[in-house]
């Protein structure tokens, strides 16, 4: 019996370590993306019109379906034309929408072949930081949860209705 307990504890510890490594890596990736976007924030941004020519949607799911919109983007002054480019955002099939294009840098729109709707135009400046904080918060929450469970406080807290000491017949009361 003791052998199985050790094996279980070893598997649990390995799982926890793997969780921490993966979550720390994801946070680090988002921080790196945030720094790259912050450094490149002064790159020229060109506005223009994206015209949808093709829409491919994933099969519907309970949460909806994700679609990829491909089309042609033309800058306002007509000096830049991008064909077969992907839209970061959404548009009705056959319609057009205002979109921005920011080439240059290691994560530029020219590298990713993408244009952005107004909402997502400057998302690179805030989204990676929000995502990094979210993953750090999830990691912290899980760490605290595992720490409480390891100390035997997995009932929901001392004053919880599920905690043994809250029962009238408990010797602690």
Evaluate if pTM is beyond 0.85.
Answer: no
Residue 38, pLDDT score: 83
Which domain range does residue 74 map to?
A: 46-120
Name beta bridge partners: 109: none
Are residue 89 and residue 25 in the same domain, yes or no? no
Are residue 93 and residue 112 in the same domain, yes or no? yes
Cα separation of the two ends of the chain: 35
Within-domain flag for 54: yes
Within-domain flag for 77: yes
Within-domain flag for 170: no
How far, in Å, CA of 42 to CA of 59, rounded? Answer: 39
Are residue 89 and residue 138 in the same domain, yes or no? no
Q: How far is CA 124 from CA 10, 26, 32, 119, 171, in A?
A: 40, 16, 11, 11, 57
Are residue 92 and residue 59 in the same domain, yes or no? yes
Model confidence pLDDT, tens digit, residues 93-145: 888 999 999 887 766 777 788 899 887 777 777 888 999 999 999 999 998 98
pLDDT, mean of residues 59-77: 85
Is the Cα torsion angle 148, 150, 151, 156 positive or negative in sign?
Answer: positive
Are residue 19 and residue 5 in the same domain, yes or no? yes
Quick one: which of 99, 97, 111 has its CA closest to 36?
111
The radius of gyration of the chain from alpha carbons, rounded to an integer in Å, stands at: 25
CB atoms within 10 A of CB 87: 23
User: Residue 173's pLDDT band (boundaries 50, 70, 90)?
Assistant: very low
Share of the chain above pLDDT 90, in %: 36
99 Cβ contact partners less than 8 Å away, ≥ 6 residues apart: 47, 48, 49, 50, 73, 87, 89, 115, 116, 117, 118, 121
Within-domain flag for 24: yes
165 Cβ contact partners less than 8 Å away, ≥ 6 residues apart: 158, 172, 173
């Amino acid at each position: 019996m003791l052998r199985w307990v050790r094996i279980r504890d070893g598997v649990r510890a390995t799982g926890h370590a793997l969780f921490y490594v993966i979550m720390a890596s994801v946070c680090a990736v988002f921080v790196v993306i945030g720094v790259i976007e912050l450094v490149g924030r002064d790159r020229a941004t060109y506005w223009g019109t994206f015209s949808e020519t093709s829409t491919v949607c994933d099969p519907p799911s309970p949460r909806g379906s994700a679609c990829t919109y491909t089309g042609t983007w033309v800058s306002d002054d007509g000096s830049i034309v991008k064909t077969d480019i992907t839209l970061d955002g959404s548009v009705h099939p056959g319609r057009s929408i205002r979109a921005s294009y920011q080439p240059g840098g290691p994560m530029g729109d020219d590298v990713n072949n993408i244009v952005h709707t107004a909402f997502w135009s400057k998302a690179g400046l805030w989204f990676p930081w929000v995502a990094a904080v979210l993953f750090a918060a999830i990691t912290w929450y899980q760490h605290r949860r595992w720490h409480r469970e390891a100390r035997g406080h997995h009932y929901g807290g001392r004053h919880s209705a599920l905690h043994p000491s809250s029962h009238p017949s408990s010797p602690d009361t």
